[in-house]
Amino acid sequence: MLVDLGRVTMSADFTPAPDRRAEVRRLIDAMEHAKIISDGHFSALGMLINDASLSADEPALVECQDGLQWLHRHYIDVDGLDGAQREQRGRILGLIDVVHWALRRLPSGLQLALQPDGHAARFLVAVFRRQGLSNQELAAELGTDETEISRVGRKLLAAGVVWRRKEWRHNAWDLTPRGRHYLETSGLLPEETPSVRRAEAVRPAETTPRSPDAVPRRVTPDRRSSPPEPRRPAHG
């Protein structure tokens, strides 16, 4: 499926991680050679920046930052910019700021340095294992109170490694792609022990037939396959 964004036509799945950097380069090149940079160009680039930020795609963000700075050079030391050109320069500068802070918030630039036994690290691991945990559930998991969970959650939320959403009157915490990447690269995820894996591998399969609603059925013996009863000896 194709999405038409002004004068830029892009596929709906234009941001796979391996091709995102090339897509940024192609779009920046199109913006450089366009007489007027259209709203479609800016919208497409904004979506690429957002997707790269959520996916912690540093190469794509660096490519975007370099390309935007290259575009901005066209407006340096130019006298008599008209209204449209001033607007374009302002939008380019705004995107440069967005990319700058996206790069600062990448896992490599967060400098979290979480202690494995600290509340923040255990918070992340707990949410990794079970998405949607509430403050109360996390407090019970970490052995602390909900005030501490709120404090730690705000810190991790500011770092962009968790999401917070509302479920009725309670918070529900989820891990962002950036948070998952941080856990995988920081060594905070505990490895499964071989004994646990063996136990799961040799766990006996359930042999009792179950109904669709998971209520065990009564197993009726097959009389045709049952062994015959032994004859009683005759008396007299």
pLDDT, one tens digit per residue, over 180-233 is 888 888 888 876 534 434 444 444 444 444 433 344 444 444 555 455 555 665
Structure tokens of 148? 């501490």
- Indicate whether 123 and 94 sit together in one domain: no
Percentage of the chain surpassing pLDDT 90?
30
- Indicate whether 76 and 20 sit together in one domain: yes
- Indicate whether 173 and 131 sit together in one domain: yes
The pLDDT value given to residue 227: 55
- Indicate whether 94 and 159 sit together in one domain: no
Residue 140 domain flag? yes
Residue 55 domain flag? yes
- Indicate whether 96 and 127 sit together in one domain: no
For CA atoms 128, 148, 186, 160, the dihedral sign is: positive
Residue 61 domain flag? yes
- Indicate whether 64 and 157 sit together in one domain: no
- Indicate whether 126 and 174 sit together in one domain: yes
Residue 206 domain flag? no
- Indicate whether 76 and 165 sit together in one domain: no
- Indicate whether 9 and 100 sit together in one domain: yes
Going by pLDDT thresholds of 50, 70 and 90, the confidence category of residue 3 is very low
- Indicate whether 84 and 176 sit together in one domain: no
For residue 176, give the CATH number of its domain: 1.10.10.10
Residue 114 domain flag? no
User: What CA–CA distance (Å, rounded) separates 163 from 179?
Assistant: 9
Residue 14 domain flag? yes
Phi, psi of 46 (to 5 degrees): -60, -40
Residue 30 domain flag? yes
Give the number of domains in the chain.
Answer: 2
Looking at 51, 73, 104, the residue that finishes a domain is 104
Residue 158 domain flag? yes
Domain that includes residue 161, residue range: 119-186
- Indicate whether 18 and 72 sit together in one domain: yes
Looking at 80, 104, 128, the residue that finishes a domain is 104
pLDDT digits (tens, 9 = 90+) for 154-179: 888 878 788 888 887 888 999 988 88
Long-range contacts of 26-31 (CB under 8 A, 24+ apart): 28/63, 28/64, 28/67, 28/68, 28/70, 28/71, 31/71
In degrees, rounded to 5, the angle at the alpha carbon of residue 128 between the alpha carbons of residues 113 and 154 is 55
pLDDT digits (tens, 9 = 90+) for 8-32: 444 444 444 458 999 999 999 999 8
- Indicate whether 132 and 163 sit together in one domain: yes
